[in-house]
Copies of this chain bind each other. A is one copy, B any other.
């Protein structure tokens, strides 16, 4: 679908928006980094927003498979850790788009919409998962699924952004530590009383 040239341009673009943000990423620098002429960008993607849209399309295609082959065992701790790992891996490998979605203001509608898909997808998945657990009496029926689901999402989300935006060591944790401690800890309480 993408020609070699287009691929090179998008890769350069993504790398630069991670470093500098969308506004500060100039077409000139994209061209330099991609090793093409600046006007080639416009030939291929019409304008800068077109390039963003192409990058978002790529993101969306891969986002479809975000939870593919993810099996739920019914062991809450294990499942939430796996799910969180999936999420973290996905956003890490799509840093450019995810961060751009946060940093940029609302002009690029496609970007906005795309970035929201991920949490929405996870939310649905988690709701279904918790409902099943509840129907099987594996977690207390008194639990507010909506609350728990959003908390899992926010935890993951907070972790991702902290990791990406803060350099202070007191706020920095690596992924495995996060999963093994923060997520496990959180998950453990869901089944606490059983």
Contact = CB atoms under 8 A, between A and B. Distances in A.
A151 B155 contact: yes
A146 B157 CA distance: 18
A24 B24 contact: no
A186 interface: yes
Interface string A162-180: 1001111011010000000
A158 interface: yes
Interface in A132-148: 144, 146-148
Oligomer: number of copies: 4
Nearest to A188: B189
Contact of A165 (B101, B153, B159, B193): B101
Given A168-B116, A168-B120, A185-B147, A24 B155 contact: no
A39 interface: no
B192 A144 contact: no
A46 interface: no
Nearest to A123: B170
A182 to B, nearest CB: 5
Nearest to A185: B147
Contacts of A40: none
A6 interface: no
Interface stretch (A47-55, A64-72, A85-93, A102-110): A102-110
Interface string A119-131: 1100100000000
17 contacts: A19-B105, A101-B165, A102-B102, A102-B103, A102-B161, A112-B167, A116-B166, A116-B167, A116-B168, A119-B162, A146-B181, A147-B182, A148-B185, A151-B155, A154-B158, A156-B158, A189-B189
Q: 9 tightest A-B contacts by CB?
A: A154-B158, A158-B158, A23-B23, A103-B103, A157-B158, A189-B189, A147-B185, A147-B181, A116-B168
